[in-house]
């Protein structure tokens, strides 16, 4: 009798933990639930059409369905593109300069190259923190889901 009680309590704990996890995963700040369901439907349809497909094939099959549902990837801003191009150039030059170097040495060479290009690591993080602080000061009672669009707007205006 005691063993059944322990098993029943354990089962209830597992169900409660699972329900809490599911509620947390679907909570605010996790994206648009309508878009998430559309994306799942597209992926399920692609998997049903070709169950043995690899990730790259599934990605190609899902893309038109996602575009039809209005889900498109965000295009990087010109500033982001310039930063990425500078990073690629610095990484390539560091690897060419010392092909046998360890990762820490390459990282230092890339960091120096980026500093010469006028790009400082962590710059975006500081902008996000500043925008979040301003948004929180203007809306002290707001939660993260409410603040997110305000922060995004601040960042899009140059932070």
pLDDT digits (tens, 9 = 90+) for 88-134: 999 999 999 999 999 999 999 999 998 898 887 777 788 889 999 99
Of residues 125 and 137, more confidently modeled: 137
Residue 121 structure tokens = 């690591």
pLDDT for 125 equals 85
* Plot region of 118 (φ>0 → left; ψ -120 to 50 → alpha; else → beta): left
pLDDT for 26 equals 47
Distance CA 147, CA 137 (A): 11
pLDDT tens digits, residue range 29-41?
A: 567 788 889 889 9
Distance CA 48, CA 7 (A): 38
pLDDT tens digits, residue range 44-84?
A: 999 999 888 899 898 898 999 888 888 888 888 888 898 89
């Amino acid at each position: 009798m005691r063993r059944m009680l322990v098993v029943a309590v354990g089962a209830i704990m597992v169900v409660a933990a699972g329900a809490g996890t599911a509620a947390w995963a679907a909570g605010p700040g996790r994206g648009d639930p309508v878009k998430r369901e559309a994306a799942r439907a597209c992926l399920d349809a692609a998997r049903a059409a070709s169950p043995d497909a690899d990730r790259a094939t599934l990605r190609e099959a899902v893309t038109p369905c996602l575009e039809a549902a209005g889900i498109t990837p965000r295009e990087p801003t010109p500033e982001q593109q310039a930063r990425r191009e500078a990073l690629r150039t610095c990484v390539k030059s560091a690897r060419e300069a010392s092909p046998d170097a360890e990762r820490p040495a390459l990282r230092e060479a890339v960091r120096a190259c980026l500093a010469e290009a006028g790009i400082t690591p962590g710059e975006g993080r500081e902008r996000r923190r500043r925008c979040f602080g301003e948004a929180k000061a203007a809306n002290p009672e707001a939660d993260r889901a409410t603040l997110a669009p305000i922060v995004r707007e601040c960042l899009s205006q140059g932070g």
